[in-house]
A and B are shown apart, each in its own frame.
Chain A
């Protein structure tokens, strides 16, 4: 009989190891044997868990999406104002970028840079669905309460997430003058000012 919890642990070990390598070396420069060696597993055994490198990358994307969604859901379920929620989301995003940089780096440097890897299997927003859903819920409730301006979803989503992604990218390039978390207040205020209702 297969021990599912042990199988799940192994799966998680592979995802975390591959995430680190993909995020630092890039998708194409990382091989399955390298990932296997990094986590102390044989390539043959790794293929028992993920039949291809593309599939592994897609699972990593879902894993990151679910991780961020879980954190944003806690904010959505709280009684904070929309302005405070924006700050809490920015904080989570930047803290993740600092404490687990591979998560956001994977998003920016693998997902957004190698679209062909995700074209089949991650159509539309399937693989980032959990994350996008929580952002939708945040926007929907904020507009319903009259705290944010009603507009097209992607206009607001692009402004919010594009801004955060851009800052993390600049941070990765080491061109920022301050630590990323020192920008939380200013950036939260800018986002709120851009999205708030008239």
Chain B
């Protein structure tokens, strides 16, 4: 299976992240890099620019400037060839950080959450893989599925449901604090849920960070940092370490939860005073 990895406006984060895929060496035996910016490839960038090489899967990393005719020409040539087009990371998918620089910079099929028609003829063969960066296991998993002919259910933004039907909240080790609405979190001192004060977007961010751990070890929320919603269309939001609230009520609620129901539930849950959650869990009870 021949893979072509093209970069546009990017920090290289997705390319670097992929190098951390635990079984990269074995995995590469089944694929051929027509071109990859960091890994050994069959052709150089110059060669793929000068002539059309065969490719099965075209991967785009980075946001695309619509005024960059040189890149667009290259993209069209290979997009017409490829059986699948993968947008790697949030910039290629939704525009991300770089789209804030100028209006002509966007994701391939999206400008934040708005679907664009410019490359509409490629939409049916496109798969969106947002994340800042994209998790290596997600990319490897999708490529494996394509190679094996396994069907990949997609959501309406063409994200594979296997990975993006979940929220980052799913599997978060701080869920107990969320259940009982304990907004007592102190960085580095006390466990707790970061949804209430510290801007955690895990409850409405579609990704598998707490199911597939980063480097098989950890995730942001497990390590005590709020989820910044890096795989969401509107990433990056501003004021990432502070929860936006209206009169103390979180302005954005967990995906699909109606405000009235949430507030009723929160009112009941807050009535419990569960002592063990107000002290560091590692603290000796006799102290």
Contact = CB atoms under 8 A, between A and B. Distances in A.
Contacts of B124: none
A116 B27 CA distance: 67
Interface in A139-179: 139-144, 148, 150-154, 156
B72 interface: no
Contact of B247 (A130, A132, A133, A148): A148
Interface in B74-115: none
A76 B267 CA distance: 19
Interface stretch (B129-137, B171-179, B268-276): B268-276
B150 interface: no
A123 interface: yes
Given A124-B270, A137-B259, A153 B247 contact: yes
Given A124-B271, A125-B271, A140 B264 contact: no
A123 B260 CA distance: 20
Contacts of B247: 136, 139-140, 143, 148, 150-153, 156
B268 A126 contact: yes
Interface in B166-191: none
B249 interface: yes
A124 B267 contact: yes
A140 to B, nearest CB: 4
Interface size class of B (residues with CB under 8 A): 10 to 19
A144 B263 contact: no
A129 interface: yes
The DSSP consensus for interface residues of chain A is: helix
Contact of A130 (B248, B264, B271): B264
Nearest to B245: A150
Contact of B249 (A124, A130, A140): A140
Contacts of A142: 246
Contact of B260 (A137, A144, A148, A153): A137
19 contacts: A123-B271, A123-B272, A124-B270, A124-B272, A125-B267, A126-B268, A129-B267, A136-B263, A137-B259, A139-B247, A140-B246, A140-B247, A140-B249, A140-B251, A140-B259, A144-B251, A152-B247, A153-B249, A156-B247
Given A126-B267, A126-B268, A140-B251, 18 more contacts: A123-B271, A123-B272, A123-B273, A124-B271, A124-B272, A129-B264, A133-B264, A137-B260, A139-B247, A139-B249, A140-B246, A140-B247, A142-B246, A143-B247, A144-B246, A144-B251, A152-B248, A153-B248
Interface of A: 123-126, 129-130, 132-133, 136-137, 139-144, 148, 150-154, 156
9 A-B pairs with least C-beta separation: A124-B271, A153-B248, A143-B246, A139-B247, A129-B267, A123-B271, A140-B246, A133-B263, A140-B249
